[in-house]
Amino acid sequence: MRHRSTPPATPVDTSREGSDAAGGPDHERNATVPTPSDGNSCDDGAWREILEGRHADPGAVLGPRVVGRNAARGTLVRHVRTFQPMARRAWIVQDEDGARRSVPMRRTHRAGIFEALVESTPATDGRPGYTIRVDCGGRRHEFHDPYAFPPMLTDFDLHLIGEGRHWKSYEKLGAQLHAIDGVQGVNFAVWAPNAESVSVVGDFNGWDGRVHQMHRRIPSGIWELFVPGVKAGDNYKYRVHAHGTFSDRADPYGFGAEVPPRTASRVIDLDAYQWRDGEWMSGRAARNGLDAPMTVYEVHLGSWRRPGDDPTRWLTYADLERELVPYCVEMGFTHVEFLPPTEHPLSASWGYQTIGLFAATSRFGSPHDLMALIDSLHRAGVGVIIDWVPAHFPRDGHGLRRFDGTALYEHEDPRKGEHPDWGTLIFNYGRNEVANYLVSSALFWLDRYHVDGLRVDAVASMLYLDYSRKDGEWTPNCFGGRENLEAIEFLKQFNIQVHAHFPGVLTIAEESTAWPGVSRPTYTGGLGFSLKWNMGWMNDTLRYMRHDPVHRKYHHDELTFSLIYAFHENFVLPLSHDEVVHGKGALLDQMPGDLWQKFANLRLLYAYMWCHPGKKLLFMGGEFGQWREWNFDESLEWHLCQFDSHKGLAKSVADLNHLVRRERALHELDFEGRGFEWIDCHNWQDSVLVFVRRAADPDDFVMVCCNFTPVPRENYRVGVPRAGVYDEIFNSDSIWYGGGNVGNAGGILAIDVPSHGRENSLSLSLPPLAAIVLKPRR
């Protein structure tokens, strides 16, 4: 909790008023509570709540009230009451006929209650018509009365939020910068239906919960207050009173936060950034199309690279804009995917235990700096996907856990509300406001940060009530099944709204089970995702590649099995961060054999992966052959790029990226069976695979030949779809990549020798532990 002595006000230069101002020591000794004659009285219990900062309706006690009219002068008589616990004296300041007039306020309670009766002409522009000036031990401050402004949330806003259909609730809740009739400030609004009272505390009021007590909007459970003078950059929290105690909470809708381990939210002016990516945004739908090339570079912002002079410091968003953007362009990746950029208290969670689903992490700079990074990537032709985590949230005391003293965002029953593997809490997807909060977060990143796709983490844990639970540790749904019906409906609604509001963006599911229709439209019974990670392909392929080549012939089915279901979903083939942590080792170190064979195996794996149906994803460091298992707290081993073997591996990945971009056959029909054809999937004894990839034009195709043993295959005969001359357009054994340069130079003529059920065939040299790609001349 913060404690500041700064009084609640926006400081301005003022002249000292005369000594006749009310509120001196003699008056204070005699003050008790306001008298009923002031037209705005309340009982002692209400006063006690105001003085203790826990009144549920402070506007009923504080602020202005019309108590009469002066017909002769045409003025209104207002009674104004304010609570200024740090002030010794106070005045009402009015601007009339170009002159400023100060009316002393009477101190009616020693704790800092001041009152006055003032006359003024009815305001035509909606302004309060006055400001309050206070003297805090010789320091003068002047400010607008927050209780003189009406609520900004409409009844329709409250209805939509309660219904769970206010898709842009991020424009209403949280800390919204506004100017009301020329008065600049922030409208604070937070959902806490079971709280006894809520105050906003921050830099602007000395973190004093008595100063800005919020209005309860019945029956929505939302608390709201417009605070004049608050500006972008100010830190704040909500002080939530419940069950006789209170806690200071970060704003669930906060757009920014302090750098951890500090935990306050920060007022952010998101509109201050001017985007320059109009060309990218207008063509995004085509670039994200299912028939477009897609190779994704997965990046953890805090460990991609560290400054050479201080390896303990993170690169900033601005540093990443200078270094990461040109690197992605050079390597040919079509998209970059950031591990969760949302605010999270624990760096060791990699961002997956987030507190602020609307706040960009401040570790690397401001929200505007992240916008600039995304803007720069777009202008360089690189799309941006972020990991988004609606599956669970951490237990940190300043976060969502028991936010208003009850299980508000989570389930009360730990069998539904607690995640046994991660020690986190699970969102209550059946509560309208919670589902609205999550969908609104997704739309926020697409809207305000121009993000091109959302990869949804841990979908399997959302779909099943018994996920990672033993018998007796979970409760069935209303039909007696293990499916989480509320989560399923939430995921469908999430996808419907994302695709309706932002056509052309991608939603990607990390889903590891055989749940049907994950990437099929909701109107056909699917969940509605654009793409799904193919965890089965990843597990089978890595298991196969870890085998010593001499044993691979006994595991040939681990390679071929993926093509049985390859077109059941719109798959992404992921070699993600999860495959290089928790003792698994780096990808290069997982490959068998001596040093040369390790690099050859990894180049072969990438070539096979890039030519296999599906979009591609590779975690950072894998492209140049990181030796060490990934550590979130250290830079990648960039010094390895000085060695030819590592440079060659990186060159092969870059060339594969450009190959996929260039050859329609390798991306147009990733999700259709007519885009793939086996030539030979039965040669298990030699561990050789041969297949064809086709474009939408069936005459536009390439042939892929993979040799998973270290034995070169000379004069290896392969059937081909048609006669003609074939050129080798990629060879993972090229000398440029650090290979042995075994291959097929020049054109290779297909002759009319039947093979593999085809009338024509080629005689090839298959390099060891390598893949080659052939294309017929047209």
Active-site annotation, residues: 457, 510
Strand partners, 571: 532
The tokens describing 519, both together, are: 């990437």
Count other Cβ atoms within 10 Å, centred on residue 44.
9
Contact 611, 666 (CB under 8 A): yes
Please tell me the distance from the alpha carbon of residue 21 to that of residue 102, in angstroms, as a whole number. 9
User: Which residue in this structure is represented by tokens 């202005």?
Assistant: 64
The tokens describing 13, both together, are: 């230069």
**Peptide bond between residue 64 and the one before it cis (omega within 30 degrees of 0):** no
The tokens describing 269, both together, are: 């002016």
User: Which residue in this structure is represented by tokens 């961060």?
Assistant: 577
Please tell me the distance from the alpha carbon of residue 63 to that of residue 41, in angstroms, as a whole number. 12
| 713 contact partners, CB below 8 Å, separation of at least 6 | 686, 688, 707, 764, 765, 766
The tokens describing 19, both together, are: 């000594």
The tokens describing 731, both together, are: 């060879």
H-state helical runs in 333-452: 367-379, 414-417, 432-448
Residue of 555, 554, 561, 552 whose CA lies nearest to 534: 561
The tokens describing 23, both together, are: 């509120």
Give how far Cα 223 sits from Cα of 153, 177, 777, Å. 10, 16, 70
DSSP designation for 483: B
Contact 592, 555 (CB under 8 A): no
Task: Determine phi and psi for 647, rounding to 5 degrees.
Answer: -60, -40
The tokens describing 252, both together, are: 């669930």
Please tell me the distance from the alpha carbon of residue 764 to that of residue 608, in angstroms, as a whole number. 18
Give how far Cα 712 sits from Cα of 423, 597, 691, 740, Å. 51, 13, 19, 10
Contact 100, 17 (CB under 8 A): no
β pairing state of 235-242 and 197-202: antiparallel
| 477 contact partners, CB below 8 Å, separation of at least 6 | 465, 483, 484, 485
| 620 contact partners, CB below 8 Å, separation of at least 6 | 297, 298, 299, 300, 304, 636
β pairing state of 571-575 and 197-202: unpaired
